[in-house]
């Protein structure tokens, strides 16, 4: 993705992002609270930003909220900003303290709960904003909720409709909400907030406050915040980020995600242990939510994926969760792959693999713009990775495309993982020879270390959902993305099956045997001088190129390329070589094409001329004799060049041509014209 596009993305209110962890890829998105409304998952995160001048540079900084939704946990839509610090009547418009929020639905309204810095004084209030839709617009209440001093609100609506609010402030507290969802139900007590010594909660000392609710009993010692309460069957769960490590001796252990269970929404709680261990890096916080969607439970959490050296810029992730029969939760492990199924036709990021050989590594594509994501390196022959859950059903007539780079010529395969076998033993879907250095004839190149987009035909197409494996078969290769594309409708040629064809009414020859394109790095067609073309067209690219009578499906070797002949009938008067390359080649622009067809005449046909047009330059041979050369940078024009007078002999005639093109849409058209310039049509054409 280029920078201009990335900027555009930031401006658009609604956009779709693809699967894998992190799930939100256009902005930082921490503290993800996931909710299911109307059959979709909505994620309400805090929106970390880089602190503007004047703000503490090493602290949390959030000025607004966005909401994201997904129907399949694969494609995420950013619905844009739903609330800004400037639109909170009681808030400091420059507070930058819009920490972890929540959103629930009750009686036709969506209630959005959020912490924010008040206009006056220090600390946090918790506000409520309401909307008729989960994506807003949200209207903010004039005052924060009385009696709730702290951060990280979470609301649980019980089966009987009673709502409870939980928050973090002097431990984890919980309280009943009134039916209006905007006030605590119960007495408020005057309290003084102690200064919390923990580096994470650097809340300044404050005057006494009126506080409601009660401390949640039964939770373990140690710093806790970010309560997320939910009900599953008859069990209530209170989950929370928790520092279990030893904080003595200046140590700074980071947060786990832990939980407790109870038979009642406000406890007392029975502590059960951790759901997720500490991050394996120095990201100090974790913050989460658990939600059931289509019968499966998920844990949403965060990690500083796009900000490795700054743990206050975080990104939302998701993993599956399994409950034991007794209601306890199995430990969840962080993955790069996350959840969700990728349609094969979307860009797949293999750097988010689930399994790989030990030598595989990932790196940012661009360390100055980390939102461009990662690349993966398979450093040597034998390296492999596995990326699960690709849905091949959208691939109907496909080929594979990969963005890769290498320092030496190499080869890698895309395979399907075969259950019960070594990952690298699966069936080959596509082979990618990658030539970055070439010394062939007039064409030399050195594309070492540059990203190249390669295409390859499918040797085998998996069906349904299966796991994809990439294996390195030569020197190392880096891969940015993989995608399967369907053959474009523009390639209007079908396999030549009928016994023999006729020229069309205009005399155009539409049945051809085409060889998959030979890769050529021609950057500009101005090179197509007579001398240059003679050099190219007289070179032996493959064995017996001027004498062999190729068969449909036959393979020839051209340097590192194994190219197949295809017998095809064009639906148009011209043969669309560019579209052919798109379908069968590993390079669309910069290609050399070979074509052969057989012309069978009942009688000799004398005094005819071959009339051809091509994009770009081409050469034509009849029965082994050169009859026409179209040189220079040409567009395809009917009858652009004419041969001298010729005779089509009785029986079989062999017409060959070669077309070379650089940055253009290659094609050709050809026919025979008689002495009056009329199309010759009294012969048949075959490819056998
Ligand atoms: O995002 C700011 C704060 O960091 C949250 O409110 C806490 O739960 C922690 O994740």
Read off the CATH number of the domain in which 422 is found: 2.60.120.260
Residue 329 belongs to some domain of the structure: no
Where is average pLDDT lowest: 17-31, 188-202, 277-291?
Answer: 188-202
Counting atoms of ligand 1 from 1, which one is nearest the CA of 46?
1
Same-domain pairing of 482 and 564: no
Positive or negative, the CA dihedral 76, 80, 83, 86 is: positive
Span 250-266, mean pLDDT?
A: 96
Ligand 1 atom 4: the closest Cα is on which residue? 285
pLDDT of residue 664: 85
Last residue of a domain, one of 433, 454, 486: 486
- Cα of 200 to ligand 1 centre, how many Å? 9
**292 catalytically annotated:** no
- Count of domains forming the chain: 3
Q: Is 225 in the pocket of ligand 1 (CB under 6 A)?
A: yes
Q: Is 31 in the pocket of ligand 1 (CB under 6 A)?
A: yes
Ligand 1 atom 8: the closest Cα is on which residue? 226
pTM of structure? 0.77
- Cα of 109 to ligand 1 centre, how many Å? 26
Q: How confident is the model at residue 550 (pLDDT cuts 50, 70, 90)?
A: very high
* Mean pLDDT rounded to a whole number for the chain: 91
**225 catalytically annotated:** yes
Last residue of a domain, one of 422, 452, 486: 486
Q: Is 100 in the pocket of ligand 1 (CB under 6 A)?
A: yes
Residue 328 belongs to some domain of the structure: no
Ligand 1 atom 9: the closest Cα is on which residue? 285
- Cα of 226 to ligand 1 centre, how many Å? 7
Where is average pLDDT lowest: 145-149, 244-248, 254-258, 496-500?
Answer: 496-500
**Ligand 1 mutation pick, 62, 100, 172, max ligand atoms within 8 A of CB:** 100
In tens, the pLDDT along 430-468 reads 999 898 887 655 555 678 899 988 888 899 999 999 999
Same-domain pairing of 294 and 378: no
Residue 333 belongs to some domain of the structure: no
pLDDT of residue 204: 58
Spot the catalytic one: 48, 225, 480, 667: 225
Same-domain pairing of 459 and 556: no
CA torsion angle 372 378 379 381 (round to 10):
-160
- Cα of 150 to ligand 1 centre, how many Å? 11
Supply 670's token pair: 């050809």
pLDDT of residue 11: 36
C-alpha span between 201 and 195 (Å, rounded): 9
- Cα of 99 to ligand 1 centre, how many Å? 6
In tens, the pLDDT along 380-393 reads 999 999 999 999 99
pLDDT of residue 487: 76
**Ligand 1 mutation pick, 27, 31, 113, max ligand atoms within 8 A of CB:** 31
C-alpha span between 239 and 261 (Å, rounded): 9
Chain Cα centroid distance, residue 431: 21
Using CB atoms within 10 A of its CB, is residue 190 exposed (0-12), middle (13-18) or buried (19+)? exposed
Same-domain pairing of 280 and 299: yes
The CATH number of whichever domain residue 304 belongs to comes to 2.115.10.20
Q: Is 112 in the pocket of ligand 1 (CB under 6 A)?
A: no
Q: What angle do CA 607, 608, 613 make, to 5 degrees?
A: 155
Q: Is 228 in the pocket of ligand 1 (CB under 6 A)?
A: no
What is residue 525's three-state secondary structure? helix
Question: Half-sphere exposure of 489 toward its Cβ, with a 13 Å CA cutoff?
Answer: 0
Same-domain pairing of 393 and 301: no
Same-domain pairing of 316 and 371: no
Q: Which long-range contacts (CB under 8 A, 24 or more apart) does 303-310 make?
A: 303/21, 303/22, 303/279, 303/334, 305/21, 305/22, 306/22, 306/28, 306/370, 306/371, 307/28, 307/370, 308/281, 310/58
Residue 193 belongs to some domain of the structure: yes
Counting atoms of ligand 1 from 1, which one is nearest the CA of 60?
2
Q: Is 48 in the pocket of ligand 1 (CB under 6 A)?
A: no
- Cα of 491 to ligand 1 centre, how many Å? 54
The CATH number of whichever domain residue 603 belongs to comes to 2.60.120
- Cα of 369 to ligand 1 centre, how many Å? 24
**Which residue range(s) make up the domain with 256?**
3-321
pLDDT of residue 467: 95
Q: Is 226 in the pocket of ligand 1 (CB under 6 A)?
A: yes
Last residue of a domain, one of 321, 355, 388: 321
Residue 201 belongs to some domain of the structure: yes
- 201 has pLDDT over 70: no
């Amino acid at each position: 993705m280029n920078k201009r596009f990335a900027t555009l993305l930031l401006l658009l209110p609604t956009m779709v992002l693809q699967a894998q962890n992190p799930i939100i890829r256009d902005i930082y998105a921490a503290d993800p609270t996931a909710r299911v409304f109307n059959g979709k998952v909505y994620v309400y995160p805090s929106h970390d930003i880089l602190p503007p001048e004047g703000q503490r540079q090493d602290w949390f900084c959030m000025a607004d909220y966005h909401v994201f939704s997904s129907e399949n946990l694969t494609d995420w839509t950013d619905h844009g900003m739903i609330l800004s610090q400037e639109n909170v009547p009681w808030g400091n418009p420059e507070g930058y303290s819009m920490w972890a929020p929540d959103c629930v639905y009750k009686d036709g309204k969506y209630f959005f709960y959020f912490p924010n810095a008040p206009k006056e004084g220090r600390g946090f209030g918790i506000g409520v904003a309401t909307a008729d839709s989960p994506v807003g617009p949200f209207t903010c209440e004039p005052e924060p909720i009385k009696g709730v001093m702290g951060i990280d609100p979470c609301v649980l609506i019980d089966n009987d409709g009673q709502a409870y609010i939980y928050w973090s402030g002097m431990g984890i507290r919980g309280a009943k909400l009134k039916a209006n969802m905007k006030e605590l139900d119960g007495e408020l007590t005057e309290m003084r907030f102690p200064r919390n010594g923990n580096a994470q909660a650097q809340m300044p000392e404050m005057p006494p406050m009126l506080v409601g609710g009660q401390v949640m009993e039964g939770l373990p010692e140690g710093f806790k915040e970010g309560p997320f309460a939910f009900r599953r069957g008859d069990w209530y769960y209170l989950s929370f980020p928790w520092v279990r490590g030893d904080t003595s001796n200046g140590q700074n252990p980071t947060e786990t995600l832990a939980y407790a269970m109870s038979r009642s929404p406000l406890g007392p709680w029975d502590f059960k242990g951790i759901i997720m261990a500490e991050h394996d890096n120095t990201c100090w916080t974790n913050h989460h939510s658990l939600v059931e969607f289509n019968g499966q439970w998920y844990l949403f959490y965060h990690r500083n994926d796009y900000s490795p050296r700054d743990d206050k810029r975080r990104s939302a992730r998701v993993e599956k969760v399994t409950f034991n029969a007794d209601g306890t939760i199995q430990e969840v492990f962080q993955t790069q792959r996350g959840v969700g199924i990728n349609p094969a036709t979307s860009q797949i990021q293999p750097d988010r693999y689930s399994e790989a050989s030990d030598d595989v590594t990932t790196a940012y594509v661009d360390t100055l713009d980390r939102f461009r994501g990662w690349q993966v390196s398979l450093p040597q022959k034998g390296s492999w990775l596995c990326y699960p859950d690709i849905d091949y059903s959208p691939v109907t007539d496909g080929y594979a495309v990969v963005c890769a780079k290498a320092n030496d010529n190499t080869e890698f395969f895309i395979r399907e993982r075969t259950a019960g076998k070594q990952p690298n033993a699966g069936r080959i879907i596509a082979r990618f020879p990658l030539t970055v250095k070439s010394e062939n004839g007039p064409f030399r190149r050195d594309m070492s270390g540059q990203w190249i987009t390669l295409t390859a035909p499918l040797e085998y197409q998996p069906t349904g959902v299966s796991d994809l494996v990439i294996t390195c078969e030569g020197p190392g290769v880096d891969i940015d993305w993989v995608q399967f594309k369907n053959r474009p409708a523009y390639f209007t040629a079908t396999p030549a099956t009928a016994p023999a064809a006729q020229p069309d009414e205009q005399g155009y020859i539409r049945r051809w045997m085409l060889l998959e394109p030979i890769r050529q790095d021609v950057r500009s067609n101005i090179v197509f001088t007579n001398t240059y073309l003679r050099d190219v067209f007289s070179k032996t690219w493959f064995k017996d190129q001027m004498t062999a009578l190729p068969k449909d499906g036959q393979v020839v070797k051209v340097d590192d390329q194994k190219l197949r002949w295809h017998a095809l009938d064009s639906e148009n008067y011209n043969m669309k070589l560019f579209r052919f390359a798109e379908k069968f080649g590993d390079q669309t622009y910069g290609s050399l094409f070979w074509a052969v067809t057989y012309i069978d005449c009942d009688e000799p046909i004398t005094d005819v001329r071959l009339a051809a047009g091509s994009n770009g330059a081409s050469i034509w041979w009849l029965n082994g004799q050169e009859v026409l050369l179209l040189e220079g940078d040409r567009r395809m024009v009917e009858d652009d060049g004419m041969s001298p007078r010729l005779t089509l002999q009785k029986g079989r005639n062999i017409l060959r041509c070669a077309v070379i093109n650089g940055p253009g849409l290659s094609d050709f058209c050809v026919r025979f014209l008689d002495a009056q310039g009329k199309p010759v049509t009294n012969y048949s054409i075959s490819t056998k």
